[in-house]
Structure 1
């Protein structure tokens, strides 16, 4: 996920500070760190086997996939803001610099982990995986059938974002000064409705018949392949993140007037609650034993835009409340947010390795959960120190304005 490796210099690109530089750490934005930390912890939880999940977290685990949608919204906002600042300042987009920044931020750690998956099969969290070229080209989410290989499956989200950011700079350049506020909102509404219609059509033609025949597992795999993973059905979060960035950057007065925190926070939470209700409607899937992400048409079709709008509004409120959040920072949020990309890449293989070393029976309950968390953070810290931070320093040297 690009959000896990955000390009905003005051959010994650700056190396995690030591205690000696705590004053520098305070320049970080608290709101994004909190949401990013929440998102990665939810993603880690949803990939944890049920039998290894502490009883208190079982109910939360079923909705852990929501972390992905949080990442999409945050990523759309942060990358959108970066592009808007550049084009407003220069009237142009430096495509070379943009893609180089993305490459230095994403590629080193990702290809390090992909190489380990390729050449050390023992580390794979599942027996089989998709073809390596699909990972290397960030197209693994297209036609991704989990029945044909599920190792490193979390890379589908990174593929969605990389495809989106391949075209976003060009769209920003083409639409800048050519489209007003009303048309932006109309375009966002059109894309949202198109996504709803597309998911409905795919469900009706590909998934619904299998559900009606009580073939739940084939239906679940088809749903993942044709609705949950593809970029063209999962643009809601990124879209509303970019729209929020455009609104706050180009129309700050309108945002202040019509989107104050006292409005966006309760309305956003209402949208999130509405989405969860949609996903909680089991319908014919009651008792099927699948994650709530796999629902009847109501959740699969309408739930994703609802959760994306809700998260975007809550995030908007948190940005406005930054001065308050900064007074009461969440302990550990900076650390978790900084390591989030490395955690995202390695957490599944870490649990698999621990299962081989200790036995899954020793990874159950609170003690096993703490062992898993500790190992995950140790491995993520190593990847961050040895690969991520080195690549960031090299990028900053190569792309320094003084050069």
Structure 2
């Protein structure tokens, strides 16, 4: 691949406190949810953890927006200088060092896994885990499913953006988005009806409905739609940013509707209408978070930017940390819920920070030294995260 082609990079985007806050809340919520499956952090936190899987959709919207906007802006301003190879290489440097390190730990040290059984390495290396997993037998490192979804997005989105750039009108693009969302509703409904009728003796909800990429496009599409609005509809974007608190309030109301639809998480209503409604809610929150005028985007809260910065490493390593505390530390601690919870938090942060500073950040430094590093310059960190 030729990475030497020069490219015009979009202006450096400052960190947005509102998006950092959403990212930090999402990763914390997802880890609370996973704590229930790995062993839990005590019954006092069960209610808070119950809907933690919602965090994944916030991350998918963030990914669609933060990856999509710089790419679309570059295609608008300097399409001849865009390097597809440069985009892929930058994504690889961003994702692979920390991911391969954690995968190596899972493969080499079974005692550290949250579950003894792990799928074959090639499924993780090919990012096909979310399509081929035998969840009942091999659930270890299952949170890699959402990273597979993101990798499929990274692979296909720039190709689609290149193919459609300058060739479609706004109404055609909106029609395409609507068709994809409605197609997802129909597909998930058909899958749900099929497997509900058959009742196979396997966790089909996870394997056939919840993990596959084609079932989880809603939030990514909403993120891309936000990116399109920011780049190609600047007046509308400016108006929405000016009214960010109203957008935030609407996002919270729609989020409440989504939770109502998901009161039966594996039900038909949740898995048809629930996902696009949840994606819309997350999109409104991200739209509000991107504005310095919103309540969540106005101030920098202590520690939030750091949690957001290490969120990818936290995502990769937190189940190892949860298992380590449950197996080796908890037996030595008094049965005090607050103390045990603090132990979980401390060890999770320790594992995540170690991976971030020892592997993730060096990988980013190597990426920025790579020839053609300006090509397809996408600033934001990976926001891949999972909900199981």
The TM-score, its normalising length taken from structure 2, stands at 0.87
CA contact (8 A) 1:10 1:29 kept: no
In the alignment, the residues of structure 2 paired with residue 9 and residue 336 of structure 1 have an alpha-carbon distance, to the nearest angstrom, of 25
Q: Is residue 278 of structure 2 the alignment partner of residue 307 of structure 1?
A: yes
Equivalent of 1:197, from 179, 182, 186? 186
Q: How far apart in 2 are the matches of 1:84 and 1:364?
A: 51
1:367 Cα deviation after fit: 1.1
Check conservation: 2:261, 2:270, Cα contact below 8 A: yes
Please list the CA deviations of residues 48-67 of structure 1 after superposition, one character each: whole Å capped at 9, or x if unmatched: 03763344421121100001
Higher helix share: 1
- Residue 337 of structure 1: how far off its partner (Å): 0.5
Shift of 1:270: 2.3
Residue 148 of structure 1 deviates from its aligned partner by 2.1
SS of 1:125's equivalent in the other structure is: coil
* Inter-partner Cα distance in structure 1 for 2:255 and 2:114: 31
For the Cα contact (< 8 Å) 2:33–2:50, is it kept in 1?
yes
Residue 316 of structure 2 corresponds to residue 329 of structure 1? no
Distance 1:120 1:44, change over 3 A: same
In the other structure, the counterpart of 2:323 is 352
- Give the aligned length: 362
Distance 2:238 2:298 in 1: 22
Distance verdict in 2 for CA 1:303–1:158, change over 3 Å: same
Residues 352-391 of structure 1: CA distance to partner in whole angstroms, max 9, x if unpaired? 1222212468487221111011011111111111111111
Distance 1:258 1:52, change over 3 A: closer
Cα separation, 2, equivalents of 1:387 and 1:258 = 38
Aligned to 2:59: 71
- CA offsets per residue over residues 268-314 of structure 1, 9 Å max, x none? 2222111100111x3xxxxxxxxxx32x2001221111110111012
Residues 252-271 of structure 1 show CA distances to partners (whole Å, capped at 9, x for unaligned) of 11234467325422332222
SS of equivalent to 1:146: coil
Matched, 1:62 2:62: no
Residue number in structure 2 paired with 1:116: 105
Confirm or deny that 1:246 pairs with 2:228: yes
Residue in structure 2 matched with residue 342 of structure 1 by the alignment: 313
Contact 2:313 2:356 in 1 (8 A): yes
Runs (4+) of structure 1 exceeding 6 A deviation are 8-11
Cα distance in structure 2, aligned partners of 1:279 and 1:324 = 27
Matching residue within 71, 80, 88 for 1:83: 71
User: 5 Å matches for 1:199-278?
Assistant: 199-210=188-199, 218=201, 221-257=203-239, 260-278=243-261
Aligned residue for 2:114, secondary structure, equals coil
- Tell me if structure 2 keeps the 8 A contact 1:54–1:366: no
Greater mean alpha carbon deviation, residues 134-143 or residues 262-271 = 262-271
Aligned residue number for residue 34 of structure 2:
47
SS across alignment from 1:320:
coil
- The equivalent of 1:14 in structure 2 is none
CA distance in 2, matches of 1:396, 1:96: 15
Deviation of the 1:145 alpha carbon: 2.9
Question: Which has the larger displacement, 172-181 or 257-266?
Answer: 257-266
Instruction: Give the number of the structure with larger relative contact order, counting CA–CA contacts within 8 Å between residues 6 or more apart.
Output: 2
- TM-superposed CA distance for 1:29, in Å, is 1.1
- State the Cα RMSD in Å: 2.4
CA change 1:326–1:274 in 2 (3 A) is closer
Choose which of 139, 144, 150 in structure 2 pairs with 1:161: 150
Match of 1:376 in 2: 348
Larger deviation, residues 161-170 vs 351-360: 351-360
Unpaired runs of 5+ residues, structure 2, are 1-9, 376-388
Counterpart CA distance in 2 for 1:28 and 1:117 is: 33
> Scaled by the length of structure 1, what TM-score is found?
0.84
- What is the aligned partner in structure 2 of residue 34 from structure 1? 21
- Farther-moved stretch of structure 1 (310-319 vs 38-47): 310-319
User: What's the secondary structure of 1:395's corresponding residue?
Assistant: helix
Q: Equivalent of 2:129, from 116, 119, 140?
A: 140
CA 1:365–1:258: 2 relative to 1, 3 Å? closer
Q: Bigger shift: 27-36 or 67-76?
A: 27-36
Counterpart CA distance in 1 for 2:295 and 2:49 is: 30
Gaps of 5+ in 1: 1-7, 12-26, 283-292
Q: CA deviation at 1:204?
A: 0.3
Q: CA deviation at 1:39?
A: 0.9
Could you tell me how far apart the structure 1 residues matched to 2:193 and 2:20 are? Answer: 39
In structure 2, what is the Cα distance between the partners aligned to 1:384 and 1:262?
33
